[in-house]
């Protein structure tokens, strides 16, 4: 059964609670009502953005007075009186710290009547915009909003991003700001401009703490050696997008075309550029699939046309992913190819189960086997003595149709019927399901449950505790959306 590759239509952006936007305030007037610590912080942010801040407060606090004497950028002037409607004339933005909803409503209404965007601190009902948490690598600035629902959560996210974004990115962003007008004046093609910025980004990522120098501008413009396209085999992991490697994310973000399998979680594709063409070239056992030779031909054709092609596979491409065939096809066609490994389904499932596949004293080795041969039947060359070995953890990929025959053959080879086993469907995904049983009972249990997603079966003594109802609490952190099947 065959099917043609299917282009994936990029979905529209999902609804947002807020539109992230950045005000250009340099030299513009900002109005702040209140002299509290909260008002002082907002006045400091406005000054840092270059605004000329006018503060109205009968009794400004010491922090506000100190800010006025040493502002970070734009001047901060304090008017020791209440604000009036006339004060909004010519203001670009207005912020207030109000003690009650009545004052907040009056301030917001006055600002809106004057056509001035307004924020009332900690009173979202009266706000046209919010500040959120900020990561400052100016001119690179990152804003984080939780719609006012969880400011502490926003701050935690800010801290995580702060740790990931080098301080030196501020220098690279400043260089980009200075070089952009010069680049525009050269009237390059779209591709030429994109190549410049791709090289710029690569240098910034490689040397974030180095100061970019003037000599790099012409170097980034130098014609690159004419090359064709390339292919990268990327492991998408078992499903949870947080298990993607950083290298996999970079590959997805640089791809022109992504050829992905049915087993790839659609959440993974959110990491790709929106402009990238995404094509489903699904290969599903016992169902209509794209033929391997057709996938190879499409992949090579796209690469020969100069495209950067990512072949995205569930789990790790080097584990039952037919990577050797695609590597051989690319080499025969003279196409550069590289591999980005991924978290295997077995690793993902074991991590969620909190089970070491090589638990000390229980398992000397781990082996991966497939329950699905080229023709769809159980492979005839499985080392059954190895499967029956009580000191081995065996992971069976693609077992759904052939598991009864596989278990029967393993039992005849000496595998004990009471050997613990576990089947995991859609490992690490939101619809993950787990079934623990003895290996003798597992095929019957699976037949009753009729698990429909991708399934992996793992066999060995390391799973003995999963059959105990008393130990079910160990599975609680997994937070499955579907109850554990027993």
Lowest mean pLDDT among 41-55, 57-71, 122-136, 336-350: 122-136
Domain 346-478 indexed as CATH 1.10.8.50: no
d(CA 44, CA 214): 33
What's the confidence (pLDDT) of residue 93? 97
Mean local confidence (pLDDT), 34-56: 96
Q: Other C-beta atoms within 10 Å of 367: how many?
A: 16
What's the confidence (pLDDT) of residue 28? 97
User: Which tokens go with 323?
Assistant: 């990577």
Q: Is the pLDDT of residue 470 over 50?
A: no
Helix (H, G, I), strand (E, B) or coil at 338: strand
Q: Is the pLDDT of residue 395 over 70?
A: yes
User: Which tokens go with 432?
Assistant: 């993950």
Mean local confidence (pLDDT), 12-27: 87
Share of the chain above pLDDT 90, in %: 58
Confidence of residue 400 (pLDDT cuts 50, 70, 90): confident
Q: Which DSSP letter does residue 365 get?
A: E
Helix (H, G, I), strand (E, B) or coil at 447: helix
Q: Is the pLDDT of residue 55 over 50?
A: yes
Task: Say which residue, 196 or 470, is predicted with more confidence.
Answer: 196
Confidence of residue 373 (pLDDT cuts 50, 70, 90): confident
The kind and range of the H/E element at 201 are: helix 190-206
Name the residue among 256, 235, 253, 232 with its Cα closest to residue 245.
235
What's the confidence (pLDDT) of residue 440? 95
What's the confidence (pLDDT) of residue 224? 60
The C-alpha R_g of the chain, in whole angstroms, comes to 30
d(CA 357, CA 341): 19
Confidence of residue 57 (pLDDT cuts 50, 70, 90): very high
**Strand locations in 75-174 (E):** 76-79, 91-96, 118-120, 133-137, 140-144
d(CA 196, CA 202): 10
pLDDT tens column, 296-337: 999 999 999 988 999 999 999 999 888 999 999 999 999 999
Confidence of residue 10 (pLDDT cuts 50, 70, 90): low
What's the confidence (pLDDT) of residue 206? 78
pLDDT tens column, 404-455: 999 999 999 999 999 999 999 999 998 899 999 999 999 999 888 877 778 9
Return the percent helix, strand and coil in the chain, to nearest 5. 40, 20, 45
d(CA 479, CA 446): 22
Q: Is the pLDDT of residue 22 over 60?
A: yes
Choosing from 87, 261, 316, 389, which is the catalytic residue?
261
What's the confidence (pLDDT) of residue 463? 94
pLDDT tens column, 238-264: 999 999 998 898 888 888 899 998 888
Mean local confidence (pLDDT), 84-107: 96
What's the confidence (pLDDT) of residue 297? 93
Residue 261 annotated among the catalytic residues of the structure: yes
Residue 412 annotated among the catalytic residues of the structure: no
Confidence of residue 471 (pLDDT cuts 50, 70, 90): very low
What's the confidence (pLDDT) of residue 205? 82
Lowest mean pLDDT among 61-70, 114-123, 124-133: 124-133
Ordered by start, the domain boundaries in the chain are 29-131, 169-221, 230-343, 346-478
Q: Is the pLDDT of residue 163 over 90?
A: no
Q: Which DSSP letter does residue 90 get?
A: T
Share of the chain above pLDDT 70, in %: 92
What's the confidence (pLDDT) of residue 263? 82
Choosing from 283, 313, 316, 389, which is the catalytic residue?
283
pLDDT tens column, 190-239: 778 888 988 898 888 878 888 888 889 998 988 765 557 899 999 999 99
Mean local confidence (pLDDT), 367-379: 87
Q: How much is the pTM?
A: 0.61
What's the confidence (pLDDT) of residue 226? 54
Q: Other C-beta atoms within 10 Å of 319: how many?
A: 20
Say if 230-343 and 346-478 have the same CATH topology: no
What's the confidence (pLDDT) of residue 87? 97
Q: Tell me the average pLDDT of the chain.
A: 88
Q: Which DSSP letter does residue 163 get?
A: H
Matching CATH number, 230-343, of 3.40.1010.10, 1.10.10.10, 3.40.50.12780, 3.90.1300.10: 3.40.1010.10
What is the DSSP pairing of strand 308-313 with strand 257-260? parallel
Decide if 246 contacts 437 (C-beta within 8 A): no
Decide if 390 contacts 419 (C-beta within 8 A): yes
Q: Is the pLDDT of residue 477 over 80?
A: no
29-131: CATH architecture: 3-Layer(aba) Sandwich (3.40)
């Amino acid at each position: 059964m065959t099917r043609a590759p299917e282009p994936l239509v990029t979905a529209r952006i999902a609804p947002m609670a807020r539109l992230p936007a950045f005000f250009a305030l340099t030299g513009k007037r900002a109005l702040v009502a209140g002299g509290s610590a909260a008002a002082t912080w907002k006045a400091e942010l406005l000054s840092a953005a270059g605004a000329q801040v006018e503060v109205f407060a009968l009794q400004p606090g010491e922090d506000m007075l100190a800010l006025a004497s040493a502002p970070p950028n734009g001047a901060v002037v304090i008017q020791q009186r209440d604000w009036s409607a006339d004060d909004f004339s010519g203001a670009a933005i207005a912020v207030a710290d109000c003690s009650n909803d009545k004052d907040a409503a009056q301030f917001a209404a006055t600002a809106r009547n004057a056509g001035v965007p307004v924020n009332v601190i900690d009173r979202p009902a009266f706000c046209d915009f919010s500040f959120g948490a900020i990561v400052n690598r100016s001119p690179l600035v990152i804003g984080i909003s939780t719609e006012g629902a969880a400011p502490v959560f926003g701050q935690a996210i800010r801290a995580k991003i702060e740790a990931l974004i080098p301080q030196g990115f501020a220098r690279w962003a400043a260089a980009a700001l200075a070089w952009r007008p010069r680049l525009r004046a050269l009237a390059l093609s779209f591709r030429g401009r994109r190549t410049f910025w791709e090289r710029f980004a690569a240098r910034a990522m490689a040397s974030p703490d180095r100061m970019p120098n003037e000599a790099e501008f012409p170097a980034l413009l130098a014609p690159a050696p004419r090359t064709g396209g390339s292919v990268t085999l990327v492991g998408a992991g078992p499903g949870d997008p947080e298990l993607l490697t950083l290298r996999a994310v970079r590959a997805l973000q640089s791809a022109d075309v992504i050829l992905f399998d049915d087993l790839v979680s659609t959440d993974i594709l959110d990491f790709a550029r929106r402009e990238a063409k995404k094509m489903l070239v699904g290969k599903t056992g016992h169902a209509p699939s794209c033929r391997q030779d057709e996938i190879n031909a499409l992949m090579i054709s796209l690469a020969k046309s100069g495209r950067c092609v990512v072949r995205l596979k569930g789990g790790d491409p080097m584990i039952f992913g037919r990577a050797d065939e695609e590597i051989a096809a690319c080499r025969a066609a003279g196409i550069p190819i590289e591999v980005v490994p991924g978290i295997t389904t077995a690793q993902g499932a074991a991590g969620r189960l909190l089970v070491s596949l090589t638990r000390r004293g229980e398992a000397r080795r781990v082996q991966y086997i497939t329950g699905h041969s080229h023709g769809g039947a159980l492979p005839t060359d499985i080392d059954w003595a190895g499967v029956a070995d009580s000191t081995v953890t065996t992971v069976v990929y693609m077992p759904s149709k052939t598991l009864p025959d596989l278990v029967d053959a393993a039992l005849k080879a000496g595998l004990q019927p009471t050997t613990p086993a576990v089947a995991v469907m859609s490992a690490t995904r939101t619809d993950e399901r787990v079934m623990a049983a003895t290996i003798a009972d597992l095929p019957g249990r699976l037949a009753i449950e009729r698990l429909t997603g991708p399934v992996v079966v793992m066999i060995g003594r390391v799973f003995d505790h999963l059959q105990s109802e008393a130990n079910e609490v160990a599975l609680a952190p997994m937070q499955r959306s579907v109850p554990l099947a027993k």
